[in-house]
Structure 1
Amino acid sequence: MQSTASRPQIMLAHFVSVLLAVPALAMMTLSIVGVVSAPLGIGIALLYVAVPATRLLATGQRALAREILHEPVTQEYHPTDGLGVLDRIQHWAKDPARWRDVLWELATSTIGFTLSVLTIALFAYPLWSIVWFGLWKGLPDIFDTPYGDSMQVTSTAGAIAVSASGAVVGALLWWLTAKPIARWRFGLDRFLLGASRSAVLARRVEEVTTSRAQGADAAASELRRVERDLHDGAQARLVALGMNLGLAAELIENDPEAARQLLLEARDNSGVALQDIRSVVRGIHPPVLADRGLADAIRAVAVDLPIDFELDLHPPHLPPPLESAVYFGTAECLANIGKHSGASAGWVNIRASDDRVRVEVGDNGVGRADPNGSGLQGVAGRLAVFDGTMEVSSPAGGPTIVTMEVPCGQ
């Protein structure tokens, strides 16, 4: 992957890496001595200094690698809060991330240090060529052999030629090699300080397992909602419709007027039952979503609320199931704003970038929205089916901002 960091950023990162290499080597040495001398007791004290310091240094190098490579470089350590001295040492010894940090200390103080110094030297060489010319002018007898005894400079023209050629060649070499060397150097940091492949796969399996469970819960909840809506609405009216038709059949010969009234009532019940069924269908997949798309469907929801909304909707083309999940998640957030926020204004932004669609729903209400409430948990469950995430920021006094992201596979 090509680095997109600028060359000034790369140079700054190399300078910082060189500075970090010195304490990294010291902490590696301290860790080794601490492990060897742990049975004597003094090693435990050394480890209590070296291990946290190593993590601090590694965290700084991760930040540098992340800035240069423009890729996430993360690591998860085994938690040790609340543990005693010996238990904490044992947890450190069993944590693969801690050993990878020690291996990084070895690499950054050798290979990494060499690559960083090489880049710095290539950067400094053109400057040295110019400085050398000044030194030659002042002390020509001392600085007359810039490339050894095979090239002795005796004239100003020769000194200018040597200085200029050195500056040009050095600058060209630095310009051509700065980014490739940065990718190698900080790619090594990413490999050692990032999560191992097995850890990434284990975390992915855990995420998939969780999303499947959330998806199953969301599907079951949706089925219960549909069953409840049909039972309480359309089914009751259809039962009443059947009873009215039965009574009308019995009365049609002896009391035609009463039978007529029952038939009229049955007609009304059939219309209401049809409306109930349509309402259930809209809850499964609203016709406006299928007919007019995600942006217009969200506008239709926002228009019905007594709040001024600022809408900036630019959704990409999404598969119907994903589009439905985004719609219902947004609609649930808008409904919460209308019911609980006390807001006078809100906003909805939908953008797509880096193969993900990002939805932000916010309001200027009282805040304190509960992300563990049934409504927002249902939204999280819908999104989890598609590997989506939801974050809620709702401090007291507002604003409340719900951010949803799902892969869109563009």
Structure 2
Amino acid sequence: MKERLWLEWRATRQLLRSAGLALASLLFLPVAVFTAVATLLVIGAGVLPEMVLLLRTTAGLKRREVENWTGEPVPEAYVPIVGGLSVRVRTAIADPGTYRDLRWLAAHFLYGWLLAYAALIVWILGLMVDGIWCGVLGHRAVLLPVIGRLAALDADWSRSLLEPSPDARRSAELAERVEELTATRAGAVAAHGAELRRIERDLHDGTQARLVALSMRVGLARRAYDNNPDAARKLLDDAQDQVQEALTELRHVVRGIHPPILTDRGLTGAVRALAAGSALEVEVAEEGLENGSRPPAAVEAAAYFAVAEALTNAAKHSGSQRARVELSRAPRALKILVRDEGHGGADEAGGSGLLGMRRRIAALDGIVQVSSPVGGPTVIEVELPCVW
């Protein structure tokens, strides 16, 4: 009996919470009407998107309540409200989810209170009738389980009102994907701009300066050749050294664009070369790459630079002596895992290069996941979609 009473009390609490949310609906509806009228008069346009976001939050609370009661989540589908004010207002008005939530809000105000009052009446009648029947017949009646059915009814009605249609869900997913691609494109453009500035800086500050100095030395050697051949020979020797240094810097710039080692050895060989040149003891494991077809060049380059950045960060910041790199081939993706046993605490905003890595990977519609709790380990997982 105690267990049954506990179940009915749990159902009652669910209905009381629903009634409380219905009270919030009573306060929200006049604000919604006022904002709608003010928007038509232009003076309330700035408030409308925020009101819709608040409406979504309120509906989200009810979705969680229904999920907690039934054990099944209630899906949601909203068009992201982003951009300038005019775009945000148009999105808030055009999104079918706004009207779906408003319809639920109005209906919930009615049935939320109705079901809560019904539960209280059932409690009173149930306790009274149970007391009478227990005294006369020696057992209790079964009125209280009706409360559980009332809570289930509240959940069913809310689910039917809040659950988006398949078309609305597809539209919201498409809008979310467009927003994601917009952000990805912006990140890719920023990463590309940063890369061009780096290449320009390397050429200007390094190679170009050495070529200017080389030109001056050759000019001095030509002037000194007739009168002082030894000095001219010394200048030409210095010029040759500068040519070698300029070529070395040019190779460094080229490696920053597309490492030649990728073309020569493939991704696995290039990563093994990175491991051999790392300050850490790096173990490289691969699965399904060496004997299969190679991924596209852009995917290989992104993967190579991701591993290089991860190993560089581990050597500089982790405090670890060892790292492990895993390369694996999935049906439609290339997967990379870099793990070090350092002290963790990697921060994307701390200038560690993780943000640039994420942008480079996102430009190819890839995913980067970083796990770096304080105390370690740090694990960086990269997944790049590709067709083998």
TM-score, normalisation: structure 2: 0.61
Q: Which amino acid aligns with 1:408?
A: C
Secondary structure of 2:379's aligned partner: strand
Please state if 1:407 is matched with 2:385.
Answer: yes
Which residues in structure 2 correspond to 1:240-389 (within 5 Å)? 240-314=213-287, 315=289, 317-353=294-330, 355-374=332-351, 375-389=353-367
Per-residue CA deviation, residues 311-343 of structure 1 (Å, 9 max, x unaligned), is: 222347311112111111111011111111110
Q: Which amino acid aligns with 2:61?
A: P
C-alpha displacement at 1:232, in angstroms? 1.9
C-alpha displacement at 1:40, in angstroms? 12
Cα distance in 2, alignment partners of residues 60 and 409 from structure 1: 44
Cα distance in 2, alignment partners of residues 292 and 257 from structure 1: 46
Answer yes or no: is the 8 Å Cα contact 2:366–2:385 preserved in 1.
Answer: yes
Cα distance in 1, alignment partners of residues 175 and 59 from structure 2: 29
> What does residue 48 of structure 2 align with?
none
Q: Which amino acid aligns with 1:251?
A: A
C-alpha displacement at 1:218, in angstroms? 0.7
> What does residue 3 of structure 1 align with?
none
Cα distance in 1, alignment partners of residues 206 and 166 from structure 2: 58
Cα distance in 1, alignment partners of residues 163 and 327 from structure 2: 32
Cα distance in 1, alignment partners of residues 59 and 214 from structure 2: 80
C-alpha displacement at 1:409, in angstroms? 3.3
Secondary structure of 1:196's aligned partner: helix
Which residues in structure 2 correspond to 1:13-52 (within 5 Å)? 34=22, 38=26, 52=61
In the alignment of these two chains, the number of paired residues is 279
Q: Sequence identity, in percent?
A: 40
CA 1:272/1:371 → structure 2, altered by over 3 Å: closer, same or farther?
same
Which residues in structure 2 correspond to 1:81-160 (within 5 Å)? 95=98
Cα distance in 1, alignment partners of residues 313 and 27 from structure 2: 60
Q: Which amino acid aligns with 1:402?
A: I
Cα distance in 1, alignment partners of residues 258 and 341 from structure 2: 30
Secondary structure of 2:375's aligned partner: coil
Cα distance in 1, alignment partners of residues 201 and 27 from structure 2: 67
C-alpha displacement at 1:97, in angstroms? 7.4
C-alpha displacement at 1:226, in angstroms? 0.9
Per-residue CA deviation, residues 10-32 of structure 1 (Å, 9 max, x unaligned), is: xxxxxxxxxxxxx8xx97xx68x
Unmatched 5+ residue regions in structure 2? Answer: 1-10, 30-56, 82-95, 109-161
Unmatched 5+ residue regions in structure 1? Answer: 1-22, 42-47, 66-72, 80-92, 106-188
Q: Which amino acid aligns with 2:260?
A: P
Cα distance in 1, alignment partners of residues 70 and 167 from structure 2: 11
CA 1:39/1:402 → structure 2, altered by over 3 Å: closer, same or farther?
closer
C-alpha displacement at 1:246, in angstroms? 0.4
Per-residue CA deviation, residues 258-307 of structure 1 (Å, 9 max, x unaligned), is: 11111111111111111111111111111111111111111111111232
CA 1:195/1:340 → structure 2, altered by over 3 Å: closer, same or farther?
farther
C-alpha displacement at 1:58, in angstroms? 3.7
Cα RMSD of the aligned pairs, angstroms, is: 4.3
Please state if 1:57 is matched with 2:35.
Answer: no
Q: Which amino acid aligns with 2:237?
A: L
C-alpha displacement at 1:391, in angstroms? 1.8
